[in-house]
């Protein structure tokens, strides 16, 4: 670390994250996202019925496994299941925070942009939610960091391992593999090794889990060959027309900076410099590929976490004071936010109405919603288990 001022930014962001997490531990709830309850359903189905049923296609086996380990660990610890999971999430969030700091440390950075990234509403909500975004981003960017800055000449296996774990956490993280292979293209032999090793490793991980599901289907005369199981890769919720898809795609970018933060950033675009030179070209590719992936299925904002981190690194060398003001608005939007639109249904909007009102911030709203859901958490866990089993028992739900 270069100096105490830079350390202060890391300490401030870390301590702030820990302080904000305290209410989540005191009133523990795994999430305001129903996908999180599906992850618990995956664990309960495996323990009760001995079958791996993905929480949602195409499966998120490494994260689902970690949640299962947390649940088992909570049985011998003096903590609730939710608290054990949230503690793991906090450690992952602090680790990702530190890794982003290390990227900023490599260049002459504006640390207000670093603070914007790690104290953004979506970064914090993703970190406090039982979902795979933070772990996948941590492992993916760790592989990027090793490739760019490791001085070891034989780091191929370590890079392949972190890549494989990231992809086993979330299949769309194969984008990190594509970018790294492109980065290593001048060293053809190393690129082939990383690509081959990581592919073998992450495929092995998926096969272990899906062989269990395939065995269940074989025993129940649902499928007769592995090729029939490829339906797990079919997408769901993709029936939006181009107008609705683009609308959701644009609106779901706003919570990363908040309404005022995003407005100020857009107004200041002519003063913002983007660094595409040298290694930053690869962060640009990460940003573009994850944005395109999100456009394909614009649902939860957390899908864009890797793109948001990459974008922050791309702008890290801007010294304009405006980022200090943007940080103020971004951080404030966790607690209070100016809203200029309303939708007919959260996460499934088909209509949008223009409005102007001050409302609770994104983090506060998420906390209240998850607390409300948690009032019947036992029912929701059991319902998630039964709903998942019923959806998958006769084959892929999206075949």
132-141, 207-216, 291-300, 336-345: lowest mean pLDDT where? 336-345
**343 or 25, which is more confident:** 25
- Write down the pLDDT at residue 274: 83
Is residue 280 a part of any domain in this protein? yes
Residue 18 inside a domain? The answer is no
Nearest to 181 by CA among 203, 168, 196: 196
CB atoms within 10 A of CB 35: 18
How far apart CA 64 and CA 40 sit, in angstroms, is: 8
- Specify the pLDDT at position 206: 95
**Is residue 347 scored above 60 in pLDDT?**
no
- Domain residue limits at 279: 30-392
The answer to whether residues 136 and 163 touch, using CB atoms and an 8 Å cutoff, is: no
* Predicted local distance difference test score (pLDDT) of residue 234: 77
What pLDDT was estimated at residue 291? 96
Mean pLDDT (the chain, rounded): 91
Check whether 349 has a pLDDT greater than 60: no
pLDDT value at residue 12: 97
Pairwise CA distance, residues 123 & 132, whole Å = 12
- Per-residue pLDDT, 123: 98
Length reported for the chain? 399
Compute the C-alpha angle 34/40/43, nearest 5°.
145
Is residue 205 a part of any domain in this protein?
Answer: yes
> Which ranges in 106-155 belong to alpha helices (H)?
111-118, 121-127, 133-149
The residue with greater pLDDT, 379 or 399, is 379
Alpha-carbon distance of 118 to 97, in angstroms, equals: 6
Number of other CB atoms surrounding residue 189 within 10 Å: 9
What percentage of the chain exceeds 70 in pLDDT? 93
Q: Of 20, 86, 116, which is closest to residue 330 (Cα–Cα)?
A: 116
Q: What is the pLDDT of residue 343?
A: 59
Predicted local confidence at residue 208, as pLDDT: 94
- Domain membership flag for residue 70: yes
Q: Is residue 355 part of a domain?
A: yes
- Whether 1 shows a pLDDT value over 50: the answer reads no
Cα(4)–Cα(35) distance, integer angstroms: 41
The answer on pLDDT for 2 being more than 60 is: no
pLDDT tens for 149-173 read 987 767 889 999 999 999 999 999 9
Is position 21 within any domain?
no
CA separation, residue 266 to residues 106, 138, 198, 322, 324 (Å)? 27, 28, 39, 11, 15
**Structural domain total, the chain:** 1
398 against 117, higher pLDDT: 117
Task: Tell me the per-residue pLDDT of 110-145, one tens digit each, with 9 for 90 and over.
Answer: 999 999 999 999 999 999 999 999 999 999 999 999
Q: For residue 289, tell me if it sits in a domain.
A: yes
For residue 211, name the pLDDT band (cuts at 50, 70, 90).
very high
**Residue 140 domain flag:** yes
Lowest-confidence segment of 110-124, 264-278, 285-299 by average pLDDT = 264-278
298: left (phi over 0), alpha (psi -120 to 50) or beta: beta
For residues 299-319, give the mean pLDDT: 94
Q: Report the DSSP beta bridge partners of residue 353.
A: 342
* Distance (Å, whole) CA 279 – CA 298: 28
Predicted TM-score of the model (pTM): 0.93
Question: Using one digit for the tens of pLDDT, what is the confidence trace for 230-263?
Answer: 888 876 665 667 777 888 899 899 999 999 999 9
Percent of the chain with pLDDT over 90: 74
Q: Which residues have C-beta within 8 Å of that of residue 232, sequence separation ≥ 6? A: 54, 57, 58, 59, 210, 396, 398
């Amino acid at each position: 670390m270069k100096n105490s001022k830079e350390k202060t930014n890391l300490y401030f962001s870390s301590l702030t994250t820990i302080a904000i997490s305290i209410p989540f531990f005191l009133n523990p709830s795994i999430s305001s996202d129903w996908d999180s309850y599906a992850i618990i359903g995956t664990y309960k189905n495996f323990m009760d019925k001995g079958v791996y049923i993905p929480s949602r296609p195409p499966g998120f086996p490494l994260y689902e496994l970690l949640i299962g380990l947390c649940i088992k660990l909570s049985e011998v610890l003096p903590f609730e299941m939710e608290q054990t999971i949230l503690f793991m999430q906090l450690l992952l969030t602090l680790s990702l925070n530190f890794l982003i700091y290390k990227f900023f440390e490599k260049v002459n950075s504006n640390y207000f942009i670093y603070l914007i990234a790690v104290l953004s509403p979506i970064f914090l909500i993703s970190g406090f939610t039982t979902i795979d975004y933070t772990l996948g981003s941590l492992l993916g960017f760790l592989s990027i960091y090793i490739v760019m800055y490791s001085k070891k000449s034989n780091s191929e296996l370590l890079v392949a391992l972190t890549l494989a774990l990231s992809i086993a956490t979330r299949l769309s993280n194969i984008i990190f593999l594509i970018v790294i292979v492109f980065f290593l293209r001048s060293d053809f032999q190393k690129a082939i090794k990383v690509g081959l090793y990581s592919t073998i490793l992450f495929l092995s991980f998926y096969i272990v889990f899906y062989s269990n599901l395939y065995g269940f289907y074989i025993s129940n005369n649902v499928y007769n060959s592995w090729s029939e199981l490829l339906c797990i890769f079919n997408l769901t919720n993709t029936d939006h027309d181009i107008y609705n898809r683009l609308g959701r795609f644009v609106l779901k970018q706003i919570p990363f900076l908040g309404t005022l933060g995003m407005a100020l950033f857009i107004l200041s675009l002519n003063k913002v410099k983007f660094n595409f030179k040298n290694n930053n070209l690869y962060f640009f590719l990460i940003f573009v590929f994850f944005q395109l992936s999100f456009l394909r299925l614009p649902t939860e904002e957390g899908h864009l976490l890797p793109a948001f981190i990459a974008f922050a690194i791309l702008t890290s060398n801007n010294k304009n004071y405006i980022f200090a003001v943007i940080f103020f608005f971004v951080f404030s939007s966790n607690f209070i936010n100016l809203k200029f639109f309303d939708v007919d249904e959260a996460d499934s909007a088909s209509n949008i109405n223009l409005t102007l009102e001050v409302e609770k911030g994104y983090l506060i709203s998420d906390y209240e919603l998850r607390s409300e859901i948690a009032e019947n958490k036992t029912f929701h866990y059991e319902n998630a288990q039964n709903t998942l089993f019923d959806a998958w028992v006769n084959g892929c739900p999206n075949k």
